Amino acid sequence: MRKKILIINSHPDAKSFNYALSKRYILGAKTSGADIKIIDLYKLDFKPFFRGIEHENIIEEDIKNAQLLLKWANHIVFFYPIWWATFPALLKSFLERVLVPGFSNENSNTDREFIQWHELLSGKTARLIVTMDSPPLFHIIKVKQPSYRTMKDILKFCGINSTKKTYLGSVKMSDENQRKLWLDKVEKMGKQNK
């Protein structure tokens, strides 16, 4: 069965190193025969906040299309930089708007004291390919990798129980040779559909 891979570019600049990485991942994945779809978050037109379950939330066409792509995919690859120890606000806004009850999960119990959620995106896997200006070891030991822990928990709540991570840094201190190694590494991951 051909792998169906959804790429989610979460950097607001298409000229960023994150985009260069995603292009190389896509190149690798295409050579393996995988089907690829892409969401560039900065191109989407949606209100950047979820009003809460009690309020009416208009679902824009770009969010509906993103939901269709998330349902379609069996592997989701997020590309984003670490900013202020976590992922960009653009990605957080997207997740709040797209992973709403009824799409990503649902409550099967009407008793307000006991809520039982059912995951609606089960059977999918995810990978986070993350760039940072600090060395990854500093991010893991000192900062305690809040973006990974948060993303893993969000995705798990929707049924995506296998979330792997790849940290690339320090980008700020890297030279052309180091960046080439990272690009080659990501292309290889694409070939392996990881």
- pLDDT tops 80 at residue 146: yes
The rounded distance, in Å, linking the Cα atoms of 63 and 44 is 8
The rounded distance, in Å, linking the Cα atoms of 65 and 158 is 18
- Chain segment 87-110, per-residue pLDDT in tens: 999 999 999 999 988 899 887 666
- pLDDT tops 80 at residue 156: yes
What average pLDDT does the segment 130-148 reach? Answer: 96
Domain boundaries, the chain: 4-191
What is the C-alpha radius of gyration for the chain, rounded to an integer number of angstroms? 17
Strands 4-9 and 75-81: parallel
- pLDDT tops 80 at residue 52: no
Specify the CATH number for 4-191; select among 3.30.470.10, 3.40.50.360, 3.30.420.80, 3.40.50.2300. Answer: 3.40.50.360
- pLDDT tops 70 at residue 188: yes
